[in-house]
Amino acid sequence: MLADRTIVVTGGSGAIGAAIVRGLAAQGAHVALTYKRGKERAETLQSEITALGRRCLVAAVDACDGKAIEGFAARVESELGPVDVLVNNLGSTQVLPFALIEESDWDEMLSVNLKGLFLFSRAFVRGMIRRKRGVIVNLGSLAGHRMLEVPVHYATAKAAVTGFTLSLAKEVSRYGIRVNEVVPGLIKGGVGLNVTDRQLAAYNEHCSLGRPGRPEEVADLVVFLASERASYINAQSISIDGGI
């Protein structure tokens, strides 16, 4: 389904990111992934992907450093070839009540979650425009779509992913580039590790399937949107939350 495609996954060493990388490689893609602190996990994942006969590039890249991201983009194109798909998966959260959020906390949440989204997209969309083809999949969050007990600055940043997706999809559609957003609910691992037992019970009560999701379930949706099977899906925010 994705044989010999070159795909970039930001934040590829986390629970959801690693599942996405595995899912893409299983469909034949060569993958470049970034990480911040998970070097050992990223390198283990790289070995796993290369054992499948796929090429895999791993790099520590600061999501807020435009020059570093441009350098990473050039390296990916040089070592793996033109990028067909970008998966903007990286993100960060911080568990703080609104009254205790400092200005620096607010700036950090919006910078990592939104500036990184902008910088990585800008770095890779240029080549897609030249080639007049490409796919971008952004990872949002149910926190940006529903009234939930989540940190306000995180919810704000994730809500903005939807606006970014819609606007960018409209602008680049003329070049044959599709842009969509995947909106996970509570997923095991990742930010889901910050959820208390009380919050988990409340989620399960309001979720029609009565459970949190698995990273592999999110990955399956991302893989589908990255493929030509989703060629008529554009500018959509697709929830995968078990029915909230």
| Angle, in degrees to the nearest 10, between helices 116-131 and 152-172 | 10
In whole angstroms, what is the distance from residue 207 CA to residue 224 CA? 24
Q: Quick one: pLDDT at residue 110?
A: 96
Active site residue 232: no
Q: Quick one: pLDDT at residue 222?
A: 98
Residue type present at position 186: L
Q: Quick one: pLDDT at residue 22?
A: 98
Query: Residue 88: which residues within 8 A CB-CB, separation 6 or more?
Result: 10, 116, 117, 120, 121, 136, 137, 138, 139
In whole angstroms, what is the distance from residue 214 CA to residue 231 CA? 25
Q: Quick one: pLDDT at residue 201?
A: 94
Q: Quick one: pLDDT at residue 213?
A: 97
Residue with tokens 């600055």: 153
Cβ contact 101:150 at 8 Å: no
| Ordered structural domains, the chain, with CATH | 6-240 (3.40.50.720)
Instruction: Render each residue's pLDDT in the chain as its tens digit; 244 residues.
Output: 899 999 999 999 999 999 999 999 999 999 999 999 889 999 999 999 999 999 999 999 999 999 999 999 999 999 999 999 999 999 989 999 999 999 999 999 999 999 999 999 999 999 999 999 999 999 999 999 998 999 999 999 999 999 999 999 999 999 999 999 999 999 998 777 778 899 999 999 999 999 999 999 999 999 999 999 999 999 999 999 999 9
In whole angstroms, what is the distance from residue 129 CA to residue 82 CA? 12
Query: Residue 191: which residues within 8 A CB-CB, separation 6 or more?
Result: 91, 93, 141
In whole angstroms, what is the distance from residue 222 CA to residue 135 CA? 11
Rg, the chain, Cα only: 17
In whole angstroms, what is the distance from residue 8 CA to residue 86 CA? 5
Among candidate residues 35, 154, 203, 232, the one labeled active-site is 154
Tokens of 179: 């842009």
Q: Quick one: pLDDT at residue 189?
A: 85
Strand order of the β-sheet with 30-35 is 56-60, 30-35, 6-9, 85-88, 134-139, 177-184, 237-240
- DSSP characters for 42-93? HHHHHHHHHTTT--EEEEE--TT-HHHHHHHHHHHHHHT-S--EEEE-----
Cβ contact 94:105 at 8 Å: yes
Q: Quick one: pLDDT at residue 103?
A: 97
Cβ contact 2:80 at 8 Å: no
Calculate the alpha carbon distances from 25 to 19, 60, 74, 79, 167 in Å: 10, 20, 21, 17, 29
Give strand pairing partners of 33. Answer: 9, 58
